[in-house]
Amino acid sequence: MAIYFVGDIQGCFSELSLLLEQVKFNKKKDELWVAGDMVARGTQSLETLRFIISLGSAAKVVLGNHDLHLLATYYKLKKVKAKDYLTDILNAPDVESIMEWLANQPLIQKIPNEEVYMSHAGLSPQWTPAIALKQAKKAQKHLNSKNRVKWLESMYGETPNNWENAKTDIEKFRFTINSLTRMRFCYKDGSLDFDHKNAPKNSPKNLKPWFNFPEHLQNTHWVFGHWAALLGNCSNPNAYALDTGCVWGNHLTLLRWHDKKLFTQEYLHHVHKSS
């Protein structure tokens, strides 16, 4: 059995298919771990979701900010942006079952018996993996509850951006969503910044990438996506950045875990222009 991690697919299903062909992926014995943002910006989001669902237990998924936003648009909390190409999903005959599946996916996945974790954006420097798992499970429980719409509505906002200031259940939920699906840079005290998306070398001096805090991720491996500007380059050897900006014209990346080998597939311009 091989475990393959993939970064932000964002509706680039043709590229994903070619990548899986490249490694001869077999859903009967291999696993595909998807680091969130399965949808949006690419033109094949519906195909992507249907395929991942078809893998059954061979797919291990975490939700990204675009996946959560899709849920919010389904429940009419937000409007669909034309650039997100979500209309196909929302008009699909199986949309209800797709949304139910999506809402039941976690925010963190962990390889059994190993200190290897995956979330869309990373691990807050204010958290240990144990705290992150606990809060992720609470957030998932909220999204699976009868109050799903209320919780989806409450996830929007940028406060509190410091875990110490998260006092109420809603504040803890919002911080959890933001740190696991939106975080890139943090201030020196570990508070979340929401304004900067560039590569670290082009960032303000008062900000640090979440993975650059002292002793962060010691004895822990963390796989994440979300940060296309990194193009897979990460200064912490225990962090694996897998969003390589396929939908922006770069490439999709697959990481085979047991030997850390990377496989890539270039963006197929002609497929998306004709879709």
pLDDT of residue 81: 86
Q: What is the pLDDT of residues 240-267, one digit of tens each?
A: 999 999 999 999 999 999 999 999 999 9
Look up the pTM and report it: 0.96
Condensed to tens digits (0 to 9), the pLDDT of residues 5-59 reads 999 999 999 999 999 999 999 999 999 999 999 999 999 999 999 999 999 999 9
- Band (272; pLDDT cuts 50, 70, 90): low
CATH numbers and ranges of domains, the chain: 3-274 (3.60.21.10)
pLDDT value at residue 273: 46
- pLDDT single digits (tens) 111-138: 999 999 999 999 999 999 999 999 999 9
**What is the DSSP track for the chain?**
--EEEE---TT-HHHHHHHHHHTT--TTT-EEEE-S--SSSSS-HHHHHHHHHHTGGGEEE---HHHHHHHHHHTTSSPPPGGG--HHHHTSTTHHHHHHHHHT--S-EE-TTSSEEE-SS---TT--HHHHHHHHHHHHHHHTSTTHHHHHHHT-S----SGGG--SHHHHHHHHHHHHHT--EEETTS-B--S--S-GGGS-TTEEEGGGSTTTTTT-EEEE---GGGTT--SSTTEEE----GGGTSEEEEEETTTTEEEEEE--HHHHHH-
Q: What is the pLDDT of residue 31?
A: 98
Q: What is the pLDDT of residue 259?
A: 97
